[in-house]
């Protein structure tokens, strides 16, 4: 019998703990939705209202009205014109809090606000450096602060804004002590350079660091032309670039910017499409890397050439070649956004309707508009014989082709009948 009693008390205790946890999550909905059914016992107007936990201030608000019923641990406030919410270490988490309604429950150390919420989230970086860009404005229809869990929950039409970035989403959870926010549903992150859409975003609010997952799309916004000396480069940068993937990591430290893209990479810009398994962008070097099963689809090669070069082309075959669709496959691509140089490595295959080439490495140097093919080079016009060499160069400006180092050419002789 003693064992049965002990088990009974154990399961009863587990049930009560589960019930308590459930109440802590759902108490807001039950009480706020039924606030009209609570009979007012005390009502005060135009007051400063404070909440404490273990003699530490948890929040302070200035409200136009406040009231409570029989339970003095519960308070209902209306028309909050200013407020602060504090971390347990005394640091201000939110200031300039405004909302139509606030509910406070002292038993659960929780504050619930709803309807027209705006507040400034004060990151640790702001507390240390007092930098305006580290203030984060939060707008939403619902905010739940839980000091017990050290969490803040934001829901319905949420928007976070700081000096550099805007984020909108369906809902978010902020881990107060870690200054880490997780956003869910219909996410749009935007700044001066990019717009990112996704299903889930983890943002480290003290750092410029984000983890983005689920149907990720990054739009590299077009740059206005500030230097007309290179019309081709200006044209390339004036086109929006779209990158899709399943996972993206963004990290920026001082002047160093790094972006990693994982799984099913697709890059689209105007008449260019690139595919790969993984991509990486180094902002300091201004280099974009694409790895694994690299595939490139180009409607033409005209975008590679300067206007004066295209006008000077005399050879009919050269003119046709730069206008043809081109497909390139390889293992790795490196594109330098600063000088437009391109390197493709690993079993490279270049395919056009009338031309074909194989090489271990293909380099394109934009300054002198030159292709260099290295390692086991094979080139031919389709239907013609192959030219094999260790190196080949194509000078587009001079319309010159050179094969060098162990050059082998096969000739097929057709006997006349």
CATH of the domain at 32: 2.60.450.10
Domain-embedded: residue 249 = no
Predicted local confidence at residue 223, as pLDDT: 61
Give every CB contact of residue 207 below 8 A, 6+ residues apart in sequence.
Answer: 125, 251, 253
Q: Is residue 46 part of a domain?
A: yes
Q: What is the DSSP letter of 224?
A: P
**Does 17 score more than 50 pLDDT?**
no
Lowest-confidence pick of 66-70, 130-134, 137-141, 272-276:
130-134
137, part of any domain:
yes
Residue-level pLDDT at 11: 42
- Give pairs for 330-335: CB < 8 Å, separation 24+: 330/294, 330/362, 331/291, 331/292, 331/293, 331/294, 332/289, 332/290, 332/291, 332/292, 332/294, 333/274, 333/276, 333/289, 333/290, 333/294, 333/296, 334/287, 334/288, 334/289, 334/290, 335/287, 335/288, 335/290
Least confident of 9-13, 82-86, 284-288: 9-13
- Using CA atoms, how far residue 319 sits from 126, 280, 406, in Å, is 59, 34, 29
Residue 239: predicted pLDDT: 64
pLDDT mean across residues, the chain? 78
> What is the count of structural domains for the chain?
1
pTM: 0.76
> How far apart are alpha carbons 264 and 278 in whole angstroms?
7
Residue 174 lies in a domain: no
Average pLDDT over residues 286-290: 93
> Who wins on pLDDT, 41 or 125?
41
- pLDDT for the residue 103: 81
Q: Which residue has the higher pLDDT, 12 or 339?
A: 339
CB atoms within 10 A of CB 54: 7
Of 5-9, 31-35, 71-75, 186-190, highest mean pLDDT: 186-190
Report pLDDT for 149. Answer: 82
Q: Is residue 64 part of a domain?
A: yes
Angle at 236 between CA 233 and CA 239, to 5 degrees: 145
**pLDDT confidence band for 228 (50 / 70 / 90):** very low
User: Does residue 359 lie in a domain region?
Assistant: no
Across 54-78, average pLDDT: 80
pLDDT of 406: 60
pLDDT given for residue 21 in this prediction: 40
329-347 pLDDT, tens digit per residue, is 999 999 998 888 899 999 9
User: Cα separation of 115 and 348, whole Å?
Assistant: 59
Q: Which domain covers residue 40, as residue numbers?
A: 27-163
Does residue 172 form part of some domain? no
Distance separating alpha carbons of residues 373 and 361, to the nearest angstrom = 6
Per-residue pLDDT tens digits for 187-208? 999 888 889 999 999 988 777 7
Looking at the domain assignment, is residue 376 inside a domain? Answer: no
Poorest-pLDDT segment among 111-120, 224-233, 305-314? 224-233
Burial of 416 (0-12, 13-18, 19+ CB in 10 A): exposed
Give the closest residue to 367 by CA, choosing from 345, 391, 342.
342
Q: Per-residue pLDDT tens for 126-169?
A: 444 545 555 788 899 988 888 778 888 999 889 988 877 889 99
- The sign of the dihedral angle between the CA atoms of 383, 384, 385, 387 is negative
As a whole number of Å, the end-to-end CA separation of the chain is 112
Distance, in Å, from the CA atom of 356 to the CA atom of 370, rounded to the nearest integer, reads 17
- Dist. CA 271–CA 240, nearest whole Å: 11
């Amino acid at each position: 019998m003693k064992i049965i009693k002990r088990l009974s008390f154990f399961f009863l205790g587990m049930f009560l703990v589960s019930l308590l946890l459930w109440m802590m999550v759902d108490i807001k909905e039950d009480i706020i939705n039924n606030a009209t059914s609570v009979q007012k016992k005390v009502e005060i107007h135009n007051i400063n209202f404070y909440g404490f936990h273990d003699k530490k201030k948890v929040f302070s608000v200035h409200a136009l009205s406040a009231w409570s019923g029989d339970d003095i641990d519960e308070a209902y406030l209306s028309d909050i014109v200013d407020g602060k919410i504090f971390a347990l270490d005394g640091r201000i988490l939110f200031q300039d809090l405004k909302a139509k309604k606030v509910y406070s429950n002292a038993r659960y150390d929780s504050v619930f606000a709803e309807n027209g919420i705006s507040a400034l989230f004060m990151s640790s970086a702001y507390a240390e450096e007092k930098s305006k860009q580290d203030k984060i404005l939060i707008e939403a229809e619902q905010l739940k602060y839980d000091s017990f869990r050290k969490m803040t929950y934001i829901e319905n039409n949420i928007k976070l804004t700081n000096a550099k970035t805007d984020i909108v989403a369906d809902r978010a959870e902020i881990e107060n002590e870690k200054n880490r926010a997780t956003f869910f549903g219909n996410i749009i992150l935007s700044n001066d350079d990019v717009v990112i859409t996704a299903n889930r975003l983890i943002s480290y609010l003290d750092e410029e660091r984000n983890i983005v997952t689920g149907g990720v799309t990054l739009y590299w916004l077009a740059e206005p032309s500030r230097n007309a000396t290179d019309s081709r480069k200006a044209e390339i940068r004036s086109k929006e670039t779209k990158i899709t993937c399943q996972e993206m990591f963004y990290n920026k430290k001082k002047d160093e910017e790094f972006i990693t893209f994982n799984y099913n990479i697709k890059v689209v810009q105007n008449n260019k499409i690139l595919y790969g398994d993984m991509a990486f962008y180094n902002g300091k070097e201004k280099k974009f890397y694409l790895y694994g099963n690299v595939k490139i689809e180009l409607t033409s090669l005209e975008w590679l050439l300067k206007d004066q070069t295209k006008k000077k082309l005399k050879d009919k075959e050269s003119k046709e070649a730069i206008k043809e669709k081109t497909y390139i496959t390889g293992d790795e691509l490196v594109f330098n956004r600063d000088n437009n140089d391109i390197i493709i490595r690993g079993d490279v295959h270049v395919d056009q309707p009338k031309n074909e080439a194989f090489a271990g490495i293909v380099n394109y140097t934009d300054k002198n508009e030159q292709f260099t093919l290295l390692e086991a080079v094979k080139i031919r016009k389709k239907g013609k014989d192959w030219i094999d060499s260790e190196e080949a160069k194509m000078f587009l400006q001079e319309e010159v082709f050179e094969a060098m180092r162990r050059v082998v050419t096969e000739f097929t002789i057709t006997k006349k009948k």
